[in-house]
Every structure is written in structure tokens, then in C-alpha cells.
Copies of this chain bind each other. A is one copy, B any other.
């Protein structure tokens, strides 16, 4: 077994024998919990900042295969349906100086024209997952993997704040044409909980009556006999998605404009 420093040296100085130069992947994994939209971040070893779970593309992998592997390695999450949404290619998006500084402080020699000091474009992927199902873990190059409230991500490395913002815009745009919630809410939920999800993604409040009328009009919800127990007010009804209608709405679109 190589020790950790040796492993890092190999990756830094000979990684381009296995990985494609210039191309990386970053994944924005959204979850919803306690009325908050969450995003999964990793803390990179040897850096005090957080980052999106991301990495590089092996020479024998497609982008999709790489995105799956990277997410699994970085977070322990498996079999998540990731979608490509944008290629980020600002020419100053990388930060070579910061990288070299870290390597110096680690005592790892970086040869001239090292592949990691060159320009990278990054393909952004995103996914919506059930917060309850996800068990964030970590691996050798990311010390910690945690859910963050979207409002509290702080300053991330490189252009990762921008990548999250862009994924959020993609999701907001989708909300105008497609249903959302199947992977974000528990199986049974109340109308206020569904509304809170929409409001959180859109970043604005919605009228309660309009929301309920519109949502019920879509025909994608089944109202259950059960009601939510507990609480001071009249117990609200529980709903679940009618998966057949939900899938149809995903395909055919919905009248939106929230």
C-alpha cells in the first residue's frame, strides 16, 4: 500500500496517464429537509474551504460514468440519476496559485506544465435526492461530506458558488414546465409542505389558495384518507404523488409561471 503522501504525489504528477487533461466534473446534489433546500458539499483535504463533489474523467469513461464514480467516491452515494446541465468554461475559473501553494505546504513537488496547473473546463451535473436516503460519507481526498443549507454554503472554491446558482436557475426554470418533489419530499406530505418546497426553490412566497388550486388542477396528486397527526390546528390532509400522472406531466409539461 502506498502511503497517503505517495498516493497524492502520483495523482498530482502522473494523474494524466489515467485522466483526461482539461476536463472536470462538478455535481450539485440537492436535498430538502426541515423546510430547507440543502446541497451536498465536501471539505477538501488540505484546504479550509468547501467544494462541490467533483473530480476528473478517466480515459476510458464517458462523462456520465465519471460523474457516477466521482459522486460515489466522494460521498458514498450510489445510483443517483445525475443530469448534465451546463459546461463551465471561464478561462480564469481555475486557481493555479492556490493549488501550487497547497502542494508546497504539503511538500509535494509539482513539475512544470503539470496537468493540474492547466486550464480546466467543468461539466456541471445535478440531481434531486431524498435527503433521508442519503448517507454522506467521505474518502481519501475529502475529509468530510455534509449537507448544507443553501443559504449557508459560504464562499466555495473556484466558481462553485456560480455552479450552484446555475443549477438552481435550471431547477427554477423547470419548475415552470414540470412537476417537482418526487425525489425531494417523503412519500406522504401535506399541501403546506409541498408549497414550502416550491417557495424554497423559487425564493419567494406563494399564495396558499392559488397554489393549492393549481397543484390539484394538475391531477398529479392523490389525496389520502390519513391526515397529519399532531399540531394545534385542524390536521391537514396527506397527499402522495400519482406516479403515472407525474411521469406524464414530466414528459408533457405543465402550465406554470409561478
Q: A241 to chain B: closest CB distance in Å?
A: 18
Give how many copies assemble into the complex.
Answer: 2
Q: Which B residues are in CB contact (< 8 Å) with A176? A: 177, 251-253
Picked from B89, B178, B255, the residue with its CB within 8 Å of the CB of A255 is B255
B89 touches A87 (CB 8 A): no
A-B contact pairs, 23 of them (CB 8 A): A20-B22, A21-B21, A22-B22, A22-B23, A57-B89, A59-B91, A61-B91, A62-B90, A62-B91, A84-B86, A87-B123, A176-B177, A176-B251, A176-B252, A176-B253, A177-B256, A252-B257, A253-B253, A253-B254, A253-B255, A253-B256, A254-B255, A255-B255
A121 is an interface residue with CB less than 8 A from chain B: yes
Instruction: Find residues 155-213 in chain A having any chain B CB closer than 8 Å to their own CB.
Output: 176-178
Residues of B within 8 A of A86 (CB): 84
Taken together as a complex, chains A and B put the C-alpha atoms of A119 and B254 apart, in Å, by 40
The docked-state distance in angstroms from the alpha carbon of A63 to that of B59 is 21
Residues of B within 8 A of A256 (CB): 177, 252-253
Q: Which 6 A-B pairs have the closest CB atoms?
A: A252-B257, A177-B177, A255-B255, A176-B253, A253-B256, A63-B89
CB distance from A135 to the nearest CB of B (A): 29
Most chain B Cβ neighbours within 10 Å, of A123, A177, A255: A177
